[in-house]
Amino acid sequence: MSDAIRLPAERRHAEELEALKASDHEPVPPGWILSPRAVERFVLGTGDEAISWQDAGGQDRSTVVSKKFYGHDVLVQRAIVTLASDRGLLLIGEPGTAKSWLSEHLAAAISGDSLLTVQGSAGITEDQIKYSWNYALLLAEGPSERALVPAPLHVGMSEGKLVRFEEITRAPHEVQDTLLSALSDKVLAIPELPDDEGYVLARRGFNIIATANTRDRGVNEMSAALKRRFNFETVPPVEDLNAEIQIVRSQVTDLLEQGGHGGTVLGDEVLELLVTTFHEIRGGRTTEGVKVDRASSVMSTAEAVSVGFQAALHASFFGKGRVEPDHVALHLAGAAVKDNQTDLGVLRSYWDVAVKPRAQRELGLWKAWWQARRHLV
């Protein structure tokens, strides 16, 4: 077992990718490892149906492909089509809606490599995207291919793989525009090298998946020229409460197993309290249609996963290994309120408006959830 905190998607799901490849009978776009249909199955899963395939040693195997992304199938299909076309893909949306998650899994299924990633920030420079130099060699020998240190764009273009550009709208304009010639002419110029070596022509399979968060600097900050070279795909928050419960359940279970806490129990009722609370505060309305205040902090599915995981760790370290509503409430303020005291008021008023009536009707664990209000300080 690896002691890495987190493995990239292509290693976490290596068997699934192998199974999909071995059973893939549809045309595979040049430079891709799987057909578009198989990429879709990797992202959306095969349900209860197992894939039958033969491994390299000729053994018959059977593998269920897990569901990674919960959302509209057409969104995933459109994203796959865009990546096979001559345009880049930009996934935009609220924080924590699985933009990075989707981009990682698409890159794993299409190129078998999700690690060619550039992280956009105000301080990013062109050489972190294109290439830089080994200065000792550069000084000793002058510019040469040997002295060149390729960055993700160089690798993606020369090996024909997808390059991920996270939070692209946080990068300065001129750095973003580095992508223009890569996307339109499919060439990366290296003016320091002699003419016949001074460029990389993108191999088939190369494309760019960028993500942008609507809460950070606006997507409008991208130049019109660059915008034209991307297809935009908005990733909405999970609409369906049950789907969100499933996401949190499977993610927390995975995290617990990876951390060696597989014996800790996060029961369905506690999970429902946690996810319903996030879902309703985010949507501004309860399932009964009562209006509730929205918090200014991010109450995304991703935050629900981390509160669920922390509550489970708490139960494992200091409780009896079974997550109680109190454990969840203890970690809610740190995840949701952060340093915003107004949001504490939002949480407390949610308890008055939404939790109390359910506690009075003695619904499931809602009474214990009402009592857990004392931790919201």
Alpha-carbon dihedral angle through residues 116, 119, 124, 125, given to the nearest 10 degrees: 10
Q: How wide is the angle at C-alpha 314 spanned by C-alphas 258 and 279, nearest 5°?
A: 85
Interface segment toward Mg ion; rule CB under 5 A; list 45-53, 98-106, 133-141, 156-164: 98-106
What is the rounded distance in angstroms from the CA atom of residue 343 to the CA atom of residue 353?
15
Q: By CB under 6 A, is residue 31 in contact with ligand ATP? A: no
Nearest-approach distance from CB 32 to ligand ATP, in angstroms = 22
Specify whether the CB–CB gap between 311 and 277 falls below 8 A: no
Q: Which amino acid would we find at residue 227?
A: K
Q: How wide is the angle at C-alpha 34 spanned by C-alphas 32 and 37, nearest 5°?
A: 125
Provide the mask over 249-288, with x wherever binding to ligand ATP is found by CB under 6 A and - wherever it is not.
--x-------------------------------------
Q: Which of 35, 100, 297, 316: binder of Mg ion (CB under 5 A)?
A: 100
Provide the mask over 97-126, with x wherever binding to ligand ATP is found by CB under 6 A and - wherever it is not.
xxxxx-------------------------
User: Closest CB to Mg ion among 210 and 347?
Assistant: 210
Q: What does 148 interact with, of ligand ATP, Mg ion, none (CB < 5 to 8 A by kind)? A: none
What is the rounded distance in angstroms from the CA atom of residue 11 to the CA atom of residue 15?
8
User: Closest CB to Mg ion among 212 and 313?
Assistant: 212
Report the length, in residues, of the chain: 377
Tokens of 365: 């664990």
User: Closest CB to Mg ion among 96 and 156?
Assistant: 96
User: Closest CB to ligand ATP among 232 and 351?
Assistant: 232
Query: 24 in helix, strand or coil?
Result: coil
Q: Which of 43, 247, 255, 312: binder of ligand ATP (CB under 6 A)?
A: 247
Q: What does 96 interact with, of ligand ATP, Mg ion, none (CB < 5 to 8 A by kind)? A: ligand ATP
User: Closest CB to Mg ion among 101 and 350?
Assistant: 101
Q: By CB under 6 A, is residue 308 in contact with ligand ATP? A: no
Query: 230 in helix, strand or coil?
Result: strand
Q: CA distances (Å), 64 to each of 23, 32, 260, 317, 368, in order?
A: 13, 22, 23, 33, 38
Strand 230-234 to 88-93 pairing: parallel
User: Closest CB to ligand ATP among 279 and 314?
Assistant: 279
Nearest-approach distance from CB 213 to ligand ATP, in angstroms = 4
Q: By CB under 5 A, is residue 276 in contact with Mg ion? A: no
Nearest-approach distance from CB 69 to ligand ATP, in angstroms = 4
Specify whether the CB–CB gap between 315 and 271 falls below 8 A: no
Contact residues for 245 (Cβ-Cβ < 8 A; gap 6+): 268, 271, 272, 275
Nearest-approach distance from CB 23 to ligand ATP, in angstroms = 24
Q: What does 278 interact with, of ligand ATP, Mg ion, none (CB < 5 to 8 A by kind)? A: none
Q: Which of 168, 200, 208, 238: binder of ligand ATP (CB under 6 A)?
A: 238
Q: For residues 61-90, which are near ligand ATP according to CB under 6 A?
A: 69-71
Tokens of 67: 């569901």
Q: For residues 193-212, which are near ligand ATP according to CB under 6 A?
A: 211
Q: Is 186 left (phi over 0), alpha (psi -120 to 50) or beta?
A: left
DSSP annotation of 169 reads: G
What is the rounded distance in angstroms from the CA atom of residue 318 to the CA atom of residue 296?
31
State the residue number with the nearest CB to Mg ion: 100
> Which stretches of the chain bind ligand ATP, using CB under 6 A?
69-71, 95-101, 211, 213, 238, 247, 251, 301-302, 305
Would you tell me which residues interact with Mg ion (CB under 5 A)?
100
